[in-house]
Amino acid sequence: MSVVTSAAAAEPNPLREGLEQERVPDASVLVIFGAAGDLTHRKLIPALYSLAHDGLLPGGQAIVGFARSDFSDESFRRSLREACDKFARTRPTEDAVWDNLAKSIFYIQGAFDDPAAYDRLAAKLAEIDQACGCGGRRLYYLAVPPPFFPVISKNLGEKGMVGDPEQGGPFTRVIIEKPFGHDLPSAKELNRVAVTTFRERQVFRIDHYLGKETVQNLLVLRFANGIFEPFWNRQYVDHVQVTVAESIGVEKRGNYFESAGITRDIIQNHMLQLVSLIAMEPPVAFEADAVRDEKVKVLRALRDLPRAGMESVAVRGQYAAGSVLGEHAEAYQKEESVSPDSKVETYAALKIFIDNWRWADVPFYIRAGKRLPKRVTDISIHFRLAPYPLFRKNNQVATQPNVLAIRIQPDEGISLKFESKVPGPTVRTAPVTMEFRYATSFGAEPPEAYERLLLETMLGDSTLFARRDEVETAWAWLDPLLAAWSQSGAPQPYPAGTWGPAAADQLIERDGRKWRRP
Give the residue numbers annotated as catalytic, written as ranges: 270
Angle value at C-alpha 408, between 406 and 410, nearest 5 degrees: 115
Three-class DSSP category at 416: strand
Cα–Cα nearest to 240, from 406, 77, 438 = 406
Give the list of residues 6+ apart from residue 86 with CB closer than 8 angstroms, or none. none
The string over 290-299, giving b where at least 16 C-beta atoms fall within 10 Å of a residue's C-beta and e elsewhere, is ebbbbbbbbb
- In whole angstroms, give the CA distance from residue 161 to residue 125: 9
Bridge partners (DSSP) of residue 493 are 318
Instruction: Specify whether the CB–CB gap between 517 and 403 falls below 8 A.
Output: no
- In whole angstroms, give the CA distance from residue 107 to residue 172: 20
- In whole angstroms, give the CA distance from residue 387 to residue 507: 26
Secondary structure letter of residue 423 according to DSSP: S
Give me the half-sphere count of Cα atoms (radius 13 Å) on the Cβ side of residue 148.
16
Angle value at C-alpha 269, between 301 and 483, nearest 5 degrees: 75
| Identity of the residue numbered 140 | Y
Cα-Cα-Cα-Cα torsion 452, 457, 462, 465, nearest 10 degrees, comes to 60
